[in-house]
Amino acid sequence: MTLREATPVELPALDPTPDQPFGLYLHVPFCITRCGYCDFNTYTPAELGGVNPDAWMQALAKELELAAARLPAPTLSTVFVGGGTPSLLGGRRMVTLLEMVRDHFVLAPDAEVTTEANPESAWPDFFDATRAAGYTRVSLGMQSVSPRVLGVLDRIHTPNRSADCAREALVAGFEHVSLDLIYGTPGESDDDLLRSVDTAVETGVDHVSAYALVVEEGTALARRVRRGELAAPDDDVLAHRYELVDARLSEAGMTWYEVSNWSRPGGECRHNLGYWNGGQWWGAGPGAHGYVGVTRWWNVKHPNAYAESLAADALPVQGFEGLDPAARHTEEVLLKIRLRQGLPVNVLDAAERERARTAIADGLLASDGDRLVLTPRGRLLADAVVRTLLG
CATH number for the domain spanning 119: value is: 3.20.20.70
Residue 212 and residue 332 in one domain: no
Number of Cβ within 10 Å of residue 66's Cβ equals 17
Q: Say if residues 24 and 80 touch (Cβ distance below 8 Å).
A: yes
What end-to-end distance do the CA atoms of the chain give, in Å? 19
Residue 116 and residue 174 in one domain: yes
Q: What angle do CA 56, 180, 214 make, to 5 degrees?
A: 90
Residue 123 and residue 57 in one domain: yes
Q: Is residue 311 domain-resident?
A: no
State the total domains in the chain: 2
Residue 170 and residue 245 in one domain: yes
Residue 259 and residue 346 in one domain: no
Residue 120 and residue 242 in one domain: yes
Residue 242 and residue 354 in one domain: no
Task: Give Cβ neighbours of residue 237 (< 8 Å, ≥ 6 apart).
Answer: 184
Q: Provide the CATH number for the domain around residue 358.
A: 1.10.10
> How far is 345 from 187, CA to CA, in rounded Å?
42
Q: Is residue 234 domain-resident?
A: yes
Radius of gyration of the chain from Cα atoms?
A: 21
Nearest to 197 by CA among 143, 238, 161: 143
Tell me the backbone φ, ψ of residue 320, rounded to 5 degrees. -150, 165
Q: Is residue 261 domain-resident?
A: yes
Q: Is residue 10 domain-resident?
A: no
Which of 222, 251, 277 is the endpoint of a domain?
Answer: 277
Q: Give the per-residue pLDDT at 136.
A: 98
Q: Is residue 1 domain-resident?
A: no
Q: Give the per-residue pLDDT at 118.
A: 93
Residue 329 and residue 267 in one domain: no
Q: What is the pTM of this model?
A: 0.95
Q: Which domain holds residue 59?
A: 22-277
Residue 243 and residue 342 in one domain: no
Q: Is residue 286 domain-resident?
A: no
pLDDT (tens place) for every residue of the chain, 391 residues total: 455 544 689 999 998 988 889 999 999 999 888 787 887 888 888 788 667 899 999 999 999 999 999 998 789 999 999 999 999 999 999 999 999 999 999 999 999 999 999 999 999 999 999 999 999 999 999 999 999 999 988 888 888 999 999 999 999 999 999 999 999 999 999 999 999 999 999 999 999 999 999 988 888 888 998 999 988 899 999 999 999 999 999 999 999 999 999 999 999 999 999 999 999 999 999 999 999 999 999 999 999 999 999 999 999 999 999 999 999 999 999 999 999 999 999 999 999 999 999 999 999 999 988 999 999 999 999 999 999 999 9
Q: Give the per-residue pLDDT at 218.
A: 86
Q: Is residue 13 domain-resident?
A: no
Q: Give the per-residue pLDDT at 282.
A: 98
Cis bond before residue 184 (omega within 30° of 0): no
Q: Say if residues 285 and 27 touch (Cβ distance below 8 Å).
A: yes
Helix axes 90-104, 124-133, angle to 10 degrees: 10
For residue 183, what are the CA distances in angstroms to 3, 180, 252?
36, 10, 19
Q: Give the per-residue pLDDT at 333.
A: 97
> How far is 378 from 363, CA to CA, in rounded Å?
7
Q: Give the per-residue pLDDT at 39.
A: 78
Residue 150 and residue 257 in one domain: yes
> How far is 347 from 330, CA to CA, in rounded Å?
10
Residue 70 and residue 195 in one domain: yes
Which of 212, 245, 277 is the endpoint of a domain?
Answer: 277
Q: Is residue 162 domain-resident?
A: yes
Residue 211 and residue 332 in one domain: no
